[in-house]
Every structure is written in structure tokens, then in C-alpha cells.
Structure 1
Amino acid sequence: MRERELLAPALLDELDQYLQSPTVPAYKFCELIAAVREQNPVSALGIRLGLATQPNDFGVVGYMVSYCGTLGQALARYHRYHRLLQRGLVSRTELKDGVLHMRWRQAVANTPLACEFSLAAFVSLCQALIGRAVTPIRAGLPFPKPDDLGIYQALLGCSVDFDCDDIELAIPAHLLALPISSKDPYLLRLLEQQAKVLLNQLPQMEDAQAGASFHRVQEQILESMKNGDVSAVAVASALDCSVRTFYRQLRSAGYSYRGLLAHTRHTLARQYLADPALAQTDVALLLGYSEQSSFIRAFRSWTGMTPGEYRSHLQHKTGNLG
């Protein structure tokens, strides 16, 4: 923002405050990056910001992978300790026919901007580690295809698919054997010990338990929408627990209530808007919004387009909506 001389002193002060903190809540990151786009509405802003990251922006994980011997060793440790970067992050990899396929999803930081940033930041990390450009074979993002698709492809250097289930990235497998010039076995051992300690300090919860907690709260959110009150107080009360306990349980599972509510509304909104029998005002009410303007603002933050524009996108894509 300073580089582009964007005049938003209140936002700059808030950013400065968070830059002094070792961590930023995922939902707050989504809010901040959306606020930056309002000041600087350029295409693929998340991609641009992600490509500007450096390994030290990843904290102890970034320093640790910088001291590995090869990119393959670095990515293996990245996968092992990624919970230190973001709670609720679930990833998987597959090596097939000379290509490394990576997929990941973010339970909280799941807005289009945050997904763009995550994808590009990972590409930037790989490039910084091996000291050369990494040209992906393909990439995928979990939101509708934007009008300015060419910018995404130009910035990432590969084809980009949209409406994917996860964030996706495929790179040539031969890159895994490339050396990292900053290799240091001694510092790697020290930092991996530190990472293990930090990982053990995180609240432990098995994926099955986390999934059960997610679905239990999501089901109650759906019930609460019928009553028009989806506040944390109302949902916690319906689940027969205090708000403090409710928040603590969600944090242990890697979620925030705000992020989970937004995820649920976003998923339902796309389903409802695909039904031509539902007016936009009906969709807003079904999602528990008292004002349509609040729904429009929220939907734009999730998808980068208004509900009306999204319906037009569906109409163009399927030819079924009126």
C-alpha cells in the first residue's frame, strides 16, 4: 500500500499492528486483504501479493525448509509442519507420471483472495528455495472463472482452472531433486526441533473429531438460519454450551465461528442462486441476512462478484437460468 501510495491511514495503522504480531488469525487476514483490494482494485491481487512473499514470511517453517538439501526434502517438511502455518489446512500430494500433484483446502481462509494468495505464495516459496523460476504445469482455484483469466495465466505461467474443489498445483517432479543453496544440516536440526515443540503445543484433535465438530456446528447453523439468528450466542446456546466453551472447541478443531458461518453461507448461496425459482431477496433471507445489502457485500467478498453477476455467470455457463 505504501509502495502504491494508497491513502488509507486507518488501514495502514491496523496493518502495522498485525505486522508486529507473530501470527494473524486467518479470518482477519481475509478481512485485511479484502480491505486492501478496496483501496487497490487490481485483477488477481491475491496472486500478485502471493508472488511477492519470501521464505521468512512463513515463520519457523519457512526458515526450516530453507536449510533442507533439496526441494523434495523441503516440501516433505512443509507438509509435515503446515499446521504451524494455518489451522484447518488440509493437504494431500500425489506423484504420478513425472508430475507432483498438490491439493489443499483452507477451512477458514477460503475467500477467493486468500486462495489466490495461498497458491501464489507456495509457488514463490518453491522458486526462492531453488533460486530459479518454477513454471507450474497447471493450477486450480475453488471459485468461478473471472473475466480476466489471462492475467492469472500470465502471472503464474501456466493454465489455470476454476470451480475446482480445492486449491491445486502441479509441478514437474524433476524439480524435487534440485538443490537448495542455503542448505545447513545443523540449523535444519535445530529448527526442526523447534517446529516439533510448537506442533506439540497446538491443541490436538484427530481429523475425524474435527470433521464431526465442523458438521455438528454447521447443522446447527442451518437450523438457526430458519429462526433468523445465526449469532455465535444463539448457536452455542442451541448446542447447550457457553460461548467461551463454544469458541474454544472451534479453535481446537482449527476453525473460527466467523469463518465457518461464512463457509456455510457461501456454499448454500451458490446452491440457492442456481435455482431460478428463488429471488435474490429470498436467498438473503434463507441465509439469515436481515438486509439484502449485507448479503451482496458478503457474496462479493467470497466470489469477487455480486449475486446477480454470479447468476449471469451460471446462465452463460449452462444456459439454464433465466
Structure 2
Amino acid sequence: MSTNDSIPSGFIETLQSYVRERDLPAAALLQEMSRDLESPSVSALRFCDLLQAVWEQDPVSALGIRLGLSGQPRQFGVVGYMVSSCGTLGQALARYQRYQDLLQGGLIARSRLKDGVLHMRWTQAVANTPLASEFSLAVFVALCRVLIGRAVTPIRAGLPFPRPQDVGVYQALLGCPVDFERDAIELAIPAHLLALPISSKDPYLLRLLEQQAQALLAQQPQVEDRETGVFFQRVQEQVLESMKNGDASAESVAQALGCSLRTFYRQLRSAGYSYRGLLAHTRQTLARQYLADPALAQTDVALLLGYSEQSSFIRAFRSWTGMTPGEYRSQLARNQGNRAG
């Protein structure tokens, strides 16, 4: 695995906050962190160096655990926004694993359900120092806690380095027994937590959802039959929800609406729409809005629209507009430049 693996730079915010809260004499280090935060990602090796630098300023036990437990979804980059918009913790974790490469190229994760327990294990090819492993374990626990708005008490955890003398600190911070000298980072949580709804709120995500609502209003069809119109509106809302959860198929939407696929298609036809046409129209409308936002990378836009591959999004956008998303953005920039001139 390449040593050029990178992670979202947002994780550096937890280090900055810790240095400031502890009032550590590290002004130069804080400046370095601020510079690193100017980019959306940072190399995994660089992040390990920053963790080490904080530890040298404050060599306390289980420092990576302490830092990671203060993590927030926004620090996970676009993956954080994706999981924040899911309906349940189970949906969020499924999407987290689906897009794990966006978090770190050298991240390999596996999970399995057994006897009412979700067992997870993952390895990090580059960010594999003891401090980085501690941080990775704890920031994942913090993510789950913030998403469902309540404490997540693991059943057991494991770390891939020798057993330290002060094991009790690890167990006290995580609230569970912790094993060491494991082959991977490990975490076991009660499976019933997967059904809990997502309660986290994020201002940036809220803005995106508001854009979606505005787009829906703009494309409302003129349907004389009130019942048909209400059904169409419910379909639009569920399409958006299904895109966020990563499955915008007609089967998924129909099931969520509590009707058979045959009834679903029939009622859509009554409104003068096909599902394929509705989904494409919704995606095209939102794609134009998202691409006008410079804060969103093309990968982010593809994920928000429910595409698992950026190449699929590029092909679809070209079929709608005759240009790639990159060409569309360049055109927007030229138009804005002309207006400014």
C-alpha cells in the first residue's frame, strides 16, 4: 500500500482543541495544524506525526483514545455528511463501510453479526502507530455516539499493539474490556443499536437538504387529482431519502412507501411520470445545484446523488447536458467571470 494514503484533514481539529484546552506550550504546532487544515485531506503519515507531536507535549496514557472520543461527523469529510443523513445507525455503518476508501486508502474493514453482537475489525496500512490505532478506534465510537445522540457502550475492544501497564485507563475511557496484541483494531457493539434512528444535526448537511427541498418545489407537477399529487410528493421525498441511504431503486422507494412495485408504477403513471424519468430529473436538478457549490468536490456530488461510482455520475451528467461535471463547472466559472467584468 502506498505511503501516500491520506485522511480527511478535519481530524486535526480534535488535536487543535486538545492542545488549546490543555493550554500546552505549542504555538508553532498549532500554526502547523492550521496550515494543514487549509487542505481537505492530509497524508496519513503527516497525521501520525501530528499525533506524536501532541503526545510529546502531553505524554498521557491512552492519548489517542482521549483525542478520538471528541470526534464529530463533519471531521470525516463527505463520509461524515453521508452517514449523518442516513435513517438508522445500521444504514450509516453500512454506508461507512461502503465508502471507507474515501476515509483512507489503506483502510480495510470487515464486520459480521453474531448472537446479537456486531463485530468490527479494521487495519490501517499507513496510520498504524499505537496512537493512530487508538485514535481510529475512539473516533469511530464517538461517531456512533453522536449519530444516535446517546452513549454507545462497546461490549469489547481490541488494539494491535503490546499491552500497556495502565490498561485500566483504556477500559475506563471506552467503558469496556480492551484486549491488546490483536491482529487488527477491533470493536464489538450490541446489534440492537443498529435500529436506532440518527439524531445528529449538521448545519452544512442541513443546507444541502434545504437545497433539495427547494428543488422539489421547483419541479412539482401540475396534477389535478389531489390524491395523485400527494402520492407524487411522497415519492419525491422518499427518492431523496433513498439517495442519502445509497439505494434509490424503485423497489427500495416502493417498499419504503408501503406499496407493491406494481401499484407504485401505476400511481406514478397517473401523475404522468415514469420512475426512471423522475429519478433522472431529480438527480439532474440537484447536480446543477451541487456543482454550483465550490465546497463540494465531484466525488461529494456523486455520493449525494446516490451514485456508488463517480464514473457513473459523469456518464449520466454528460447524457443530460452534453458536458462533464468538470466542464459544467468551468462554464459556470466563465459565466461568473463575465458577469463580474
Q: Do these two structures clear the TM 0.5 threshold for a shared fold by scoring above it?
A: yes
Give the match for residue 288 of structure 1. none
2:45 to 19, 27, 41: 27
The separation in 2 between residues aligned to 1:191 and 1:21, in whole angstroms, is: 27
Give yes or no for the alignment of 1:194 onto 2:302: yes
Task: Answer whether contact 2:120 2:186 (CA < 8 A) is retained.
Answer: yes
Which one-letter code corresponds to 2:302 in the other structure? Q
For residues 190 and 98 of structure 1, the distance between their equivalents in structure 2, rounded to whole angstroms, comes to 27
Partners of 1:97 and 1:190 lie apart in 2 by 29
Matched, 1:113 2:221: no
> Greater relative contact order (Cα 8 A, min sep 6): structure 1 or 2?
1
TM-score (structure 1 length as normaliser): 0.59
Once the two structures are superposed, residues 118-139 of structure 1 have per-residue CA deviations (whole angstroms, 9 ceiling, x without a partner) of 0000000000011100000000
CA distance in 2, matches of 1:198, 1:4: 42
Q: 2:182 aligns with which of 164, 182, 191?
A: 164
Aligned AA (1:10):
A
For 1:102, what is the secondary structure of its paired residue? strand
SS in 2 for 1:132: coil
The residue aligned with 1:258 is: none
CA distance in 2, matches of 1:150, 1:191: 38
For 1:129-148, list aligned pairs within 5 A: 129-148=147-166
Separation (CA, whole Å) in 2 of partners of 1:181 and 1:9 = 36
Which among 46, 55, 75 is matched to residue 37 of structure 1?
55
2:22 aligns with 4
Which of 86, 91, 94 aligns to 2:109? It is 91
Distance 1:187 1:12, change over 3 A: farther
Q: Do 1:46 and 1:114's aligned partners in 2 also have CA atoms closer than 8 Å?
A: yes
Deviations 1:68-122 (A, max 9, x none): 1110000000000010001110010010000000000000000000000000000
Judged with a 3 Å threshold, the aligned counterparts in structure 2 of structure 1 residues 32 and 187 are, in CA distance, closer, same or farther, namely: farther
Give 1:199 shift: 5.8
Q: CA RMSD in A?
A: 2.0
Relative to structure 1, the CA distance from residue 89 to residue 27 in structure 2 (aligned partners, 3 Å threshold; closer, same or farther) is same
| Distance change >3 Å, CA 191–CA 23, structure 1 → 2 | farther
Indicate whether 1:54 and 2:72 are aligned. yes
TM-score (norm 2): 0.56
Q: Quick one: which amino acid aligns to residue 32 of structure 1? A: L
Kept in 2: contact 1:60–1:191 (CA 8 A): no
Q: CA deviation at 1:9?
A: 2.2
State whether residues 84 and 199 of structure 1, in contact with CA within 8 Å, keep that contact through their aligned partners in structure 2.
no
Provide Cα deviations, 1:206-241, integer angstroms capped at 9, x if missing partner: xxxxxxxxxxxxxxxxxxxxxxxxxxxxxxxxxxxx
2:283 alignment partner in structure 1: none
Structure 2: gaps (5+ residues): 1-18, 202-208, 210-237, 247-300, 312-341
Q: Deviation of residue 181 (structure 1)?
A: 2.6
Q: Which amino acid aligns with 1:189?
A: M
Report deviation, 1:11.
1.3
- Distance change in 2, residues 1:187/1:19 (3 Å): farther
Contact 2:85 2:244 in 1 (8 A): no
Query: C-alpha displacement at 1:4, in angstroms?
Result: 1.3
Return the letter of the residue paired with 1:95.
L
Whether the 8 Å contact between 1:81 and 1:199 is mirrored in structure 2 is no
After superposition, residues 283-302 of structure 1 pair within 5 angstroms as none
Cα distance 1:23–1:120, how it changes in 2: closer, same or farther (>3 A)?
same
**Is this contact kept in 1: 2:91–2:245, CA < 8 A?**
no
Question: For the Cα contact (< 8 Å) 2:87–2:245, is it kept in 1?
Answer: no
- Distance (whole Å) between structure 1 residues aligned to residue 152 and residue 244 of structure 2: 28
Counterpart CA distance in 2 for 1:59 and 1:187 is: 20
Alpha carbons 1:26, 1:109 under 8 Å: kept: yes
Deviations 1:158-205 (A, max 9, x none): 00000000000000001001111359763773696533779647xxxx
